[in-house]
Structure formats: structure tokens, C-alpha cells
Amino acid sequence: MTVLLEARGVGKAYGPTPALVDAEFGIRPGEVVAVMGPSGSGKSTLLHCLAGIVRPDAGTVMYDGRELTALSDAARSALRRGDFGFVFQFGRLVPELTCVENVALPLRLNGERRRPAEAKAREWLERLEADGAAGRRPGEISGGQAQRVAVARALVTAPRVVFADEPTGALDSLNGERVMRLLGDAARDTGAAVVLVTHEARVAAYSDREVVVRDGRVRGLTGAR
């Protein structure tokens, strides 16, 4: 199977401080890769470069045979609305919307009508064991439920790549493991690749393989196998 998303010699600095140095990374469809490292090591910067959120100062990022770093801002934004899904540490749900509306939001932003969008959202909430939260707002549910809602929102557009940045960092160990099990199973079932940024070994254990970022350099099994 070919590599879906790949970093080639990527470098990024913020002022005089290098965040990434000649980084190499590759991931295939359906693969879960954990990017590990201490705080400040550059792992989140690698994720942001891979997702097209920031442009690297050196090197290239290739997605599905295209040079992501050469695309316009509008083209990269379109990828983030459709091909890419995101799960963050604190969920980032919209507090004024119900959970089903939060999950349906990416579909609505892409022009889908409310009723079919919310039907798909309810299917994903049920799949991720959060259907009981559908009509509630984020402030009315537990942290574990909210993060499962956030995972449903990331997957509802059928993305080809899911970027998960410390997705269990705000959860206790039991809820964290539940979220990771559900995310991993759902991604593998749909064939989505998952780039998982974490500093916790118990979370990385749900991945197919691990890479380590330290002082901006990527070490370990950096190429997709």
C-alpha cells in the first residue's frame, strides 16, 4: 500500500529556535502512528505541518501524490474541511450547539442540508457510544462523552487522515483508553490514517507503530512500513 501522507526533510523555526530539523515521516491508509516526545520537542509542529496548518521553512509535505506545501491557502483549507479530521485535547466543541449539531457542523459547512447531516451525526454518535448526549450541549455532559463527540465530529466527513493532538490529555485513564479504543477501531474500519500526538505510553499502545520527536528531530520508524 502506498504512503498517503509524507514529510520529506521538513524544517520549521520560530525566530532563532528550530522546532523541526530535517523531519521525515510517512503514514499509509488505515494506519495509526503515534508521534511521541516531551513537551516542546516539536511533535505538535510536525502535526501542524502535516495538516497544512503551517508552512514549513524547508522540505515538502506530500499528500496523495500532491505537494501540500505548494497548495494555496484556500486549497489547504478545503482539505481540512473534507479530507482531514481533527481531535484536540479539550475537544473544542461549540458550547451553544447541541452535540448532534456539533458533529454535523463540518457537513453543514460543506453545504450539506441539516436533516441528512444530523442523521449522519447521530449514526457516528451511536457508533462512538455517545448517542445519549445527542440533544445536550457540551456543558451538560462529562469530559469523556465530550471527547467521544469530538471524535465523531472528526470522523463524520469520512476523512482520509485524522490528526489527534493529545486527545486523551484531559481525561482520566479509563475514559482515555475508551476514547482511544473507539477512535482506533473506527479509523481502521473506515481506512483513515491517524496521526496521534501524545506523550503517554498507554495511549501510544493503541497505535500500529511509534516515532519519537526530540529536539525537533524525528527518530524511530519514520517511514511507513
Query: Which has more confidence, 167 or 195?
Result: 195
Give the pLDDT of residue 1: 65
Contacts with 104 (C-beta within 8 Å, 6 or more apart), sequence order: 112, 114, 117, 118, 120, 121, 156
Give the pLDDT of residue 46: 95
Residue written as grid cell 448526549 = 133
Residue 209: which of 7, 46, 28 has the closest Cα?
28
The helix/strand/coil state of 37 is coil
Contact 35, 197 (CB under 8 A): yes
Give the pLDDT of residue 225: 39
Average pLDDT, the chain: 91
Q: What percent of the chain has a predicted confidence (pLDDT) above 70? A: 96
Lowest mean pLDDT among 11-15, 54-58, 68-72: 68-72
Give the pLDDT of residue 224: 40
Most confident of 111-125, 141-155, 161-175: 111-125
Rg over alpha carbons for the chain, rounded to the nearest Å, is 17
Evaluate if residue 119 carries a pLDDT over 50. Answer: yes
Give the pLDDT of residue 222: 39
The rounded distance, in Å, linking the Cα atoms of 129 and 149 is 9
Evaluate if residue 170 carries a pLDDT over 90. Answer: no
The helix/strand/coil state of 187 is helix
Contact 165, 193 (CB under 8 A): no
User: What are the angstrom distances between the C-alpha of 87 and each of 9, 24, 91, 207?
Assistant: 26, 23, 6, 16
Give the pLDDT of residue 223: 42
Query: Which has more confidence, 4 or 215?
Result: 4
Give the pLDDT of residue 69: 84
Residue 159: which of 102, 107, 122 has the closest Cα?
107
For β-strands 193-198 and 32-36, DSSP reports them as parallel
* Mean pLDDT, residues 195-209 taken together: 91
Q: What is the spatial order of strands in the sheet that 217-220 belongs to?
A: 84-87, 161-165, 193-198, 32-36, 209-214, 217-220
Give the pLDDT of residue 220: 67
Evaluate if residue 6 carries a pLDDT over 70. Answer: yes
Cβ–Cβ contacts within 10 Å for residue 183, how many?
A: 28
Evaluate if residue 156 carries a pLDDT over 90. Answer: yes
